[in-house]
Amino acid sequence: MWHVYAYARCWDNNSPLHSEKEAKTCTLGIDFGSYKSKITLAYMNTIGGQRRIEIQRVPFDGGFDDPDRADTSTDPNSWLEFVAFAALENGQLVLGRRSLSHDCTLPLKTIFIHRAGITRQSTIKRLPGGVDLLEHCRAGTITPKMEAEALRKHFELLHRMATNTAKEVLGSVITKVVLSYPNYLCPKEQEDDFVKYTSYYKKLLRPIWGKEVSFNIISEGQAAALYVSEPFKDLQVGFKRDRLWRNLKEGMGKKSGLSLLIPDGGSSSLNIQMQSVFFNEAGELESSQSISASDWLTGTLCGSFKILEELRSYQFPPGEIAALLNDFERRKRQLDWTTTEAIDLHGTRSGCIVSILPKTLQTAFNAAFGDGLAMLEREVWRVLGLGQDFAVILCGGSYFCKGLRNLVEKILTEVEKEAETRGIRVKHLYLGEYDIFSSSAVSAGAALSVMRVPCPVDVFDGSAIAVHKLWKSSSSAAWEGEDEATFLFSKVG
């Protein structure tokens, strides 16, 4: 038997391991969403002799007359979001905000999954716009070439915006790109969904980014958890991290560490991650460690897109569907899903009003969030069964919806009451109340994921790899071996 050993010095955040050339590089995290994509840069900076990780969210950098330029007066996050929709127009797929005026819009993420070879109808039909996409593909109105071209254009836009920000704002070059994938792909690993998704992702982006850039992969749940639990400096002052930890630790006792359950509820999926965070003697966040068990179900398809799918079954007037659904999107966060009153949606034409009955809204809500609520409830009770103090930090825009938050509060209140009877301390809070840019959590966490991983040149500085030959004695179960190991290579001194 041959054992391979790697001897390496420990690397810590304050060690000046990176050369001046490396200090001018940065990492890009991509959150390819069902509605919008977000991208964030992470890099090392030295302030007062101390090295620290900083992030820079990438905005849309187009002219005032650019059709993809957002109206930031209605949503402060819109300048950091890239619309990820397509729609058929004169036999071609148009992209971005231009597509939102069409009655039938197709999320690029659904097109991506279809192009990646995940073509089971049972899966595609559950995705946003999946039924419409399959019908267009069968009819030949959308071809594989059109799908690939639409995806290429979207990721070329992200590439252009990211490289411009890296160059003009940071004076830096992107050398790593971290791609995220939804957690719900993992239970389908026996069908190679994860491999198909990530392999196609790299194949699609390689011609755009070139051979010099390396790709890394991370789940959306893990990325969101890292954004919450890893130390970094936010120069855009979006994340009031000190206030979050102060409120979270209050009443939890003086601890050097704390277990977190972090659900990330997006427009089309729920991702759940368990993470331990550790604090230094001053109570400052120092590091984190994933503690999710391999057999835990950590993701499912759910989200507000299913509400829109249900509403599309209404007999909306042709040409007004987009306007009516956009009106619903603007109002959904304030809706009480237990209401007994109809809701009037307004189109663009005078007198175009469609009333949505309460029963229809409740059915749509259950279809949208039922699976996610069941998974969240199951996981919270599972963690309580471990018998240790923990906190729940809820991420994602879905938790801004009044109706959903009321049900989440009910679940967590019951868990906290039961925890108290067991002598276990449980608290919860919502990331969006501490971070105005919380919609960028996945992209920022993805970029942060590789910042504490040292480069090979750093690992092998003062290190060596050797092969040591060992064997079992014929007379006993004890291992024997050679006195010296043969070095394969080393970089010492």
Residue with tokens 């905005």: 59
Does residue 278 carry a pLDDT above 90? no
Domain boundaries, the chain: 18-223+442-453, 240-434
Confidence of residue 24 (pLDDT cuts 50, 70, 90): confident
Q: Which residue has the higher pLDDT, 419 or 185?
A: 419
At 429 the pLDDT is: 94
Is the domain 240-434 a CATH 3.30.420.40 member?
Answer: yes
Give per-residue pLDDT as tens, 71-97.
665 566 788 899 999 999 999 999 988
Q: Which whole number is the average pLDDT over 124-152? A: 94
At 15 the pLDDT is: 34
Predicted TM-score (pTM) above 0.85? no
Does residue 315 carry a pLDDT above 90? no
- Evaluate whether 18-223+442-453 and 240-434 have a shared fold: yes
Distance, in Å, from the CA atom of 337 to the CA atom of 340, rounded to the nearest integer, reads 9
Give per-residue pLDDT as tens, 198-229.
999 999 999 999 999 999 999 999 999 999 99
* Pure H helices in 173-289: 193-209, 220-229, 241-249
Q: Which burial class, exposed, middle or buried, applies to 10 when counting CB atoms under 10 A from its CB (0-12, 13-18, 19+)?
A: exposed
Distance, in Å, from the CA atom of 306 to the CA atom of 311, rounded to the nearest integer, reads 9
Stretch among 183-192, 273-282, 339-348, 482-491 having the lowest mean pLDDT: 482-491
Confidence of residue 256 (pLDDT cuts 50, 70, 90): confident
Q: Select 18-223+442-453's CATH number: 1.10.390, 3.40.630, 3.30.420, 3.40.190.
A: 3.30.420
Confidence of residue 380 (pLDDT cuts 50, 70, 90): very high
* Residue closest to 188 by CA, chosen among 291, 91, 298: 298
One-letter amino acid for residue 83 of the chain: V
Q: Which whole number is the average pLDDT over 265-269? A: 86
Q: Which whole number is the average pLDDT over 354-377? A: 87
Number of other residues whose CB lies within 10 A of the CB of residue 190? 6
Stretch among 38-52, 64-78, 288-302, 324-338 having the lowest mean pLDDT: 64-78
At 267 the pLDDT is: 82
* Pure H helices in 81-171: 108-115, 121-124, 130-139, 144-168
Q: Which burial class, exposed, middle or buried, applies to 112 when counting CB atoms under 10 A from its CB (0-12, 13-18, 19+)?
A: buried
